Structure 1
Amino acid sequence: MNNATFTDKRRFIVKLGKMLHKYGTPAYRLEAHLMEVATHLGLKSSFVMSPTSVTFVIWTEGHEEEYTHVARVDPGDHDLGSLADTDDVATKVLSGELGLKEAEQCLDTILNAKPPYSKFMTGISFAISGGAFAMLMGTSWNDVLWSSLLSIFVFLFVLWASISKRVTHMLEPLVAIVSAIAACAISVYIDPQVNIRLVVLSAIIVFIPGLALALGFAELSARHLVSGTARVMDSIMLLFKLYFGAFLGISIGFGLFGQVDFVQPEPLPRWTAWLAILLLCTSLVTIFRTKLKHASWSLASGFIAYASSITAAVYFDYAIGTFIGAFAVGVFSNIFNRIVNAPASIVAMQGLIVLVPGSKTYIGLNSLIEGQSFVYADHIGQQTFLIFMSLVAGLIFSNVVMPPKKSL
Structure 2
Amino acid sequence: MLHKYGSPSFRLEAYLSEVAHHLGVHASFISTPTSLSIVLWSDRHEDEYNHAARIDPGELDMNSLSLTDELAFQLLSGEISLADADKRLDQIDAMQSPYNKTLTGVAFGTATSAFAMLMGAGWPEIFWSGVLGVIVYFWTLWSLRSKRVNLMLESVASFTVGFSACAINYYFDSGFNIWLIILSSLIILVPGLSLTIGLAELSSRNLVSGTARVMDATMQLFKLYFGAFIGITLGYQLFGHQELQVADTLPFWVNWLGVLMLSIGLVAIFRTRMKHVPWAIVSTFIAYGASTWSSAYLENGLGAFVGAFALGVYSNIFSRTMNAPSTIVAMHGLIVLVPGSKTYIGLNSFISGQDFIKADHIGQETFLILMSLVAGLIFANVVMPTKKAL
> TM-score w.r.t. structure 2 length?
0.98
Deviation (angstroms), 1:264: 5.9
Aligned to 1:259, which of 224, 227, 241? 241
Preserved CA contact (<8 Å) 1:55 1:70: yes
Deviations 1:344-381 (A, max 9, x none): 00000011110010000000000001111100110000
Q: Aligned letter for 1:335? A: I
For the residues of structure 1 that align with 2:247 and 2:96, how far apart are their CA atoms? Answer: 44
Aligned to 1:282, which of 260, 264, 267? 264
Deviations 1:310-348 (A, max 9, x none): 111111124321101000000000000100000000000
Deviation (angstroms), 1:163: 1.5
Deviations 1:244-288 (A, max 9, x none): 111111000000111345666543211000000010011111000
For the residues of structure 2 that align with 1:325 and 1:135, how far apart are their CA atoms? Answer: 19
Task: Report the secondary structure of 1:128's partner residue.
Answer: helix
Preserved CA contact (<8 Å) 1:197 1:374: yes
1:295 aligns with 2:277: yes
Greater alpha carbon shift after TM alignment, 260-269 vs 383-392 = 260-269
Equivalent runs, 1:201-240 vs 2, <5 Å = 201-240=183-222
For the residues of structure 2 that align with 1:55 and 1:92, how far apart are their CA atoms? Answer: 25
Deviation (angstroms), 1:66: 2.2
For the residues of structure 1 that align with 2:172 and 2:61, how far apart are their CA atoms? Answer: 38
- Assess, with a 3 A threshold, how the Cα gap between structure 1 residues 263 and 327 changes in structure 2: closer, same or farther: closer
Task: Report the secondary structure of 1:194's partner residue.
Answer: coil
Equivalent runs, 1:4-403 vs 2, <5 Å = 19-261=1-243, 266-403=248-385
Deviations 1:22-53 (A, max 9, x none): 00000000000000100111111111000001
In structure 2, stretches of 5+ residues that fail to align are none
Task: Report the secondary structure of 1:49's partner residue.
Answer: strand
For the residues of structure 2 that align with 1:277 and 1:241, how far apart are their CA atoms? Answer: 27
For the residues of structure 1 that align with 2:104 and 2:183, how far apart are their CA atoms? Answer: 19
Deviations 1:157-177 (A, max 9, x none): 112222122211111010101
Task: Report the secondary structure of 1:37's partner residue.
Answer: helix
In structure 1, stretches of 5+ residues that fail to align are 1-18
Deviation (angstroms), 1:225: 0.2
> TM-score w.r.t. structure 1 length?
0.94
For the residues of structure 2 that align with 1:163 and 1:293, how far apart are their CA atoms? Answer: 30
Preserved CA contact (<8 Å) 2:300 2:368: no
For the residues of structure 2 that align with 1:262 and 1:198, how far apart are their CA atoms? Answer: 10
For the residues of structure 1 that align with 2:336 and 2:248, how far apart are their CA atoms? Answer: 24
Q: Aligned letter for 2:102? A: F
Q: Which residue of 1 aligns with 2:387?
A: 405
Deviation (angstroms), 1:181: 0.5
Task: Report the secondary structure of 1:133's partner residue.
Answer: helix
Preserved CA contact (<8 Å) 1:188 1:259: no
For the residues of structure 2 that align with 1:114 and 1:301, how far apart are their CA atoms? Answer: 25
Greater alpha carbon shift after TM alignment, 95-104 vs 29-38 = 95-104
Task: Report the secondary structure of 1:368's partner residue.
Answer: helix
For the residues of structure 1 that align with 2:71 and 2:316, how far apart are their CA atoms? Answer: 20
Report the count of equivalent residues: 390
Q: Aligned letter for 1:270? A: F
Preserved CA contact (<8 Å) 2:246 2:356: no
For the residues of structure 2 that align with 1:105 and 1:71, how far apart are their CA atoms? Answer: 20
Q: Aligned letter for 2:323? A: N
Q: Aligned letter for 1:128? A: T
Task: Report the secondary structure of 1:315's partner residue.
Answer: coil
Identical residues among aligned pairs (%) = 55
For the residues of structure 2 that align with 1:295 and 1:252, how far apart are their CA atoms? Answer: 42
Preserved CA contact (<8 Å) 1:138 1:270: no
Deviation (angstroms), 1:64: 4.0
Task: Report the secondary structure of 1:48's partner residue.
Answer: strand
Give the alignment's Cα RMSD to 1 decimal. 1.1
For the residues of structure 1 that align with 2:266 and 2:243, how far apart are their CA atoms? Answer: 35
Q: Aligned letter for 2:341? A: S
